[in-house]
């Protein structure tokens, strides 16, 4: 099966930003590195585990500037089989709905995707809206705050998950394709292997434009 995991490159949690007239200068994180969004690490790990259990491909997908290739290389080093960067000046300053439109179009272009994974939220915007908005644009079932995938049957086209809700937990069965956002209770992300890092550093990541 083919799975997409949507990721974002974000500032480190230790970054210190300057604010000028109420506007955050995102281009200067105070000398701190940019990283793969920590919440997305759990989504990448879960997507790779499904790949290991059921075979197929795991595609890391990111919308952002060219520097987002570093986050995608982290995904490749962890075990994703492919990576795609969607980058265009037309996408600058997109809100969550604009981002969802672009990601949905890129997922359709990837072809034959059955599951799209997201982290719970990004640590910079902290809205948690993109998952559901992407699902709406695709017309797929959104499964949010997933803490466990209990059963996946690619042939029958069904998935059963456990969701964290205010009242506790609920078990939900849905049909594929679906969009899933995961919480940290779902797994423990692996560290990239040395060979994985070397392979990722040599990878040529294709870039998709707005015209594409």
Question: What does the pLDDT look like over 47-98, one tens digit per residue?
Answer: 999 999 999 999 999 999 998 999 999 999 999 999 999 999 999 888 999 9
pLDDT at 24: 66
From edge to edge, which strands make up the β-sheet containing 168-175? Answer: 168-175, 158-165, 141-153, 178-182, 113-119, 2-7, 57-63, 82-86, 207-208
Q: Report d(CA 114, CA 154) in Å as an integer.
A: 8
Any idea of the CA torsion for 165, 6, 80, 56, to the nearest 10 degrees? 80
Please report which confidence band the pLDDT of residue 126 belongs to, taking 50, 70 and 90 as the band edges: confident
């Amino acid at each position: 099966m083919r799975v997409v995991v949507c990721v974002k490159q974000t500032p480190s949690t230790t970054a210190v930003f300057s604010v000028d007239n109420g506007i955050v200068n995102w281009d200067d994180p105070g000398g701190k590195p940019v990283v793969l969004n920590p919440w997305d690490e759990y989504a990448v790990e879960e997507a790779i585990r499904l790949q290991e259990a059921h075979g197929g491909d795991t595609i890391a997908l990111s919308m952002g500037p060219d520097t987002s290739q570093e986050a995608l290389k982290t995904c490749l080093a962890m075990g994703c089989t492919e990576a795609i960067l969607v980058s265009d000046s037309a996408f600058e300053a997109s809100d969550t709905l604009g981002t969802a439109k672009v990601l949905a179009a890129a997922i359709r272009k990837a072809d034959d995707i059955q599951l799209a994974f997201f982290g719970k939220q990004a640590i910079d915007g902290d809205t948690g809206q993109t998952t559901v908005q992407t699902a709406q644009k695709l017309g797929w079932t959104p499964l949010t705050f997933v803490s466990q995938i209990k059963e996946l049957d690619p042939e029958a086209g069904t998935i059963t998950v456990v969701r964290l809700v205010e009242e506790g937990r609920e078990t939900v069965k849905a049909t594929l394709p679906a969009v899933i956002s995961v919480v940290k209770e779902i797994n423990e992300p692996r560290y990239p292997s040395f060979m994985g890092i070397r392979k990722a550093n040599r990878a040529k990541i294709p870039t998709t434009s707005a015209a594409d």
